[in-house]
Structure 1
């Protein structure tokens, strides 16, 4: 078999950069040992990355037991640029900027109630343009997340009017001259759990996102599973038998989606808006009307999670739902209903660590992968790593 030298070189470059992102501060010799590459190859690639400004040297590590020169340590240069991640929901869009190490900042949420698609796009355009104008570093890419079916960066189906078959990626790529990645919210949340929260702990996981729709992001052996035309995880449209009358079949969305549950809560509270403080107060006060609504939600959500657990056998299922972030105690009821189910596989059921920004940060990871040319390699983002350094540059 003849191996193309260009392909081999590209693979080596990606792996060296991956090592610096995931394990930095790290020395060239350690990269060479980790990848089983000769030191000349690693040094050549290292020098190229340093010249491009993609990595930076941050002092010296500890010398070996045999003495000798202390190795120069390198980190990803997070000042090289930044990315923007945006989630578009039914009545608002949210946005963060992120450095290349995944650290996010400047969270913003903008209402789009009673606004048409053209105006929404203009609002997003203005927000990105303002961010670019305020930032000294360069924009490297944009990620968009929304409820729907997305395949090969195209929107094949969406809950939002006007977005189906609209080339959102090209629209903003042309405007800002950077790569744009589209993904659905559940897949973004799954990427977050893989790259941020789990730090590589779970190779097989499912992230269930409950927003305008109920969707599942599926990670298998560390990779996102999209299925035929990106249709994997569209569980909101699946039929679900009524708790009391099995012949009465509704969809998962009609039982579990955020809007459905909140509408029922607002109806009994006789309010025309969501009052999270009132919900929390009624829950702690054991208000029977609220407890009945939440019990229904817990029961049907348990049916969904139990079926996913039994079908996919993941290492864990992580739930991303604002109502559960507000009332995390409800997960005990959900787990109890799952325990009562006659199924073989009962995966651990967890709440996401960051419901508000999980999908945004997952989108940031997706576009960071794209910007660095590391689409097919695992990147792990975590807090600042401790390291023994001397003469560290600020």
Structure 2
């Protein structure tokens, strides 16, 4: 963590560091022009950032059209620290380890039943193994952020519908054991932070996430919108069909009982009278043009579209990113949804399939780690997208 005397806590230093973080290569003169600080002030701040290991010089850039000395380019010292992100759901734990610029070091997925008894150990063992094997770097592990499939308020789990993680103090237990800062956030919120980090065109967006449950992460005017108690975006628990399928939240007919991956697999098994069928069986049946499966997917898409319209009507985003295994495997549904919206007042809202897939919440967690450690408001990966997403 930054010590209290570090110049990074000064507003001007944060402005300078933000420009260096969010631009792959930038000169002192360019920073001065971008943020309106004089060149001497920028040079003094950069000197301190280099001494503190946050920034490195990477050599001369191109000279200006008027000639003169070529500027020295700056970049974030990406290997000065490591970010560790987790996504924990009832049947899987995923981990993404990155450098400070978001570049992947390692990504792992382990299919296992997760619960209050094994989650702390599962996370801590990965962190401890990483710490033992990472070698020396100035900042070490800068933080841990965990994606939670449930309601999170002020770094505390309030409700997890499909397992018992809300019965333990996850943050407290991990911070005590690891002596590292630990953050937790709702999975859909993290997917929204990730989409925003890779999108420098839009200030207001929604990430519509449908996996074991359904949620929406909402970015309004560049800021994550959590609501009063962290419940904003819990669209999976809005009622689609009154008196419909019972939901763990206590309602009946909730959207996620019809539009989550779990729900569509359950419906497919009922349709085929076979409890052993998998999601991949469903996809195969769809591509074989089985009529019952086609009709089921059409109804799924219509229900999904209703949920989508409700979110758009409430938050008025410029673009909606959809993160769903169903749409990953059946991408033509994106066109269906866009056409569905084209017949409504929401026809100008862009519908895009997320490029981030299963890593979306993990990259959002990386953003949280970087924002917290580096004290910057925004982290942009868009100018470095191909490198960050490689592998």
TM range (shorter): 0.7 to 0.9
- Structure 1 residues 165 and 38, CA gap change in structure 2 (3 angstroms): farther
Q: Tell me, in whole angstroms, the C-alpha distance in 2 between the residues paired with 1:339 and 1:38.
A: 49
* Cα shift at 1:108: 0.9
C-alpha RMSD of the superposition:
2.5
Q: Which residue of 1 aligns with 2:248?
A: none
Q: Which residue of 2 aligns with 1:390?
A: none
Q: Tell me, in whole angstroms, the C-alpha distance in 1 between the residues paired with 2:321 and 2:243.
A: 24
Q: Which residue of 2 aligns with 1:336?
A: 339
Q: Which residue of 1 aligns with 2:143?
A: 141
Does residue 130 (structure 1) correspond to residue 129 (structure 2)? The answer is yes
For residue 305 of structure 2, the aligned residue among 302, 306, 320 is 302
Q: Which residue of 1 aligns with 2:226?
A: 226
Stretch moving more, 130-139 or 70-79: 130-139
Does residue 272 (structure 1) correspond to residue 276 (structure 2)? The answer is yes
Q: Tell me, in whole angstroms, the C-alpha distance in 1 between the residues paired with 2:122 and 2:8.
A: 44
Q: Tell me, in whole angstroms, the C-alpha distance in 2 between the residues paired with 1:40 and 1:382.
A: 30
Does residue 262 (structure 1) correspond to residue 265 (structure 2)? The answer is yes
Mapped contact 2:218–2:233 kept (Cα < 8 A): yes
* Cα shift at 1:385: 9.2
Stretch moving more, 164-173 or 201-210: 164-173
* Cα shift at 1:191: 0.7
Mapped contact 2:205–2:319 kept (Cα < 8 A): yes
3-state SS in 2 of match to 1:241: coil
Q: Which residue of 2 aligns with 1:119?
A: 118
Paired positions, count = 371
For residue 311 of structure 1, the aligned residue among 309, 314, 322 is 314
3-state SS in 1 of match to 2:101: coil
Mapped contact 2:116–2:167 kept (Cα < 8 A): no
Q: Tell me, in whole angstroms, the C-alpha distance in 2 between the residues paired with 1:188 and 1:43.
A: 35
* Paired residues for 1:52-63 under 5 Å: 52-63=52-63
Stretch moving more, 364-373 or 62-71: 62-71
Q: For residues 29-52 of structure 1, what are the alpha-carbon distances to aligned partners after superposition, in whole Å with 9 as ceiling and x for unaligned? A: 211111111222212211111011
Q: Which residue of 2 aligns with 1:37?
A: 37
Does residue 252 (structure 1) correspond to residue 255 (structure 2)? The answer is yes
Q: Which residue of 2 aligns with 1:348?
A: 350
Mapped contact 1:303–1:338 kept (Cα < 8 A): no
Mapped contact 1:145–1:363 kept (Cα < 8 A): yes
Provide the TM-score with structure 1 as the length reference: 0.87
Mapped contact 1:96–1:107 kept (Cα < 8 A): yes
Q: Which residue of 2 aligns with 1:392?
A: none
- Structure 1 residues 140 and 214, CA gap change in structure 2 (3 angstroms): same
Mapped contact 2:120–2:173 kept (Cα < 8 A): no
- Structure 1 residues 357 and 220, CA gap change in structure 2 (3 angstroms): same
3-state SS in 2 of match to 1:250: coil
* Cα shift at 1:173: 2.3
Mapped contact 1:306–1:346 kept (Cα < 8 A): no
Q: Which residue of 2 aligns with 1:158?
A: 160
3-state SS in 2 of match to 1:70: coil
* Cα shift at 1:267: 3.6
Provide the TM-score with structure 2 as the length reference: 0.88
Q: Which residue of 1 aligns with 2:11?
A: 11
Q: Tell me, in whole angstroms, the C-alpha distance in 2 between the residues paired with 1:72 and 1:339.
A: 50
Does residue 373 (structure 1) correspond to residue 375 (structure 2)? The answer is yes
Q: Which residue of 1 aligns with 2:169?
A: 167
In structure 2, runs of 5+ residues without a counterpart are 1-5, 245-250, 387-391
- Structure 1 residues 35 and 165, CA gap change in structure 2 (3 angstroms): farther
Q: Tell me, in whole angstroms, the C-alpha distance in 1 between the residues paired with 2:336 and 2:62.
A: 51
Q: Tell me, in whole angstroms, the C-alpha distance in 1 between the residues paired with 2:78 and 2:7.
A: 27
- Structure 1 residues 40 and 141, CA gap change in structure 2 (3 angstroms): same
Q: Which residue of 1 aligns with 2:88?
A: 88
Q: For residues 211-259 of structure 1, what are the alpha-carbon distances to aligned partners after superposition, in whole Å with 9 as ceiling and x for unaligned? A: 2221110000111011111110011111113799xxx971112221221
- Structure 1 residues 322 and 243, CA gap change in structure 2 (3 angstroms): farther
- Structure 1 residues 116 and 344, CA gap change in structure 2 (3 angstroms): closer
Q: Tell me, in whole angstroms, the C-alpha distance in 1 between the residues paired with 2:346 and 2:384.
A: 40
* Cα shift at 1:295: 1.4
Q: For residues 190-219 of structure 1, what are the alpha-carbon distances to aligned partners after superposition, in whole Å with 9 as ceiling and x for unaligned? A: 0111002x2x11111011111222111000
Q: Tell me, in whole angstroms, the C-alpha distance in 2 between the residues paired with 1:161 and 1:123.
A: 16
Q: Tell me, in whole angstroms, the C-alpha distance in 1 between the residues paired with 2:67 and 2:339.
A: 59
Q: Which residue of 1 aligns with 2:247?
A: none
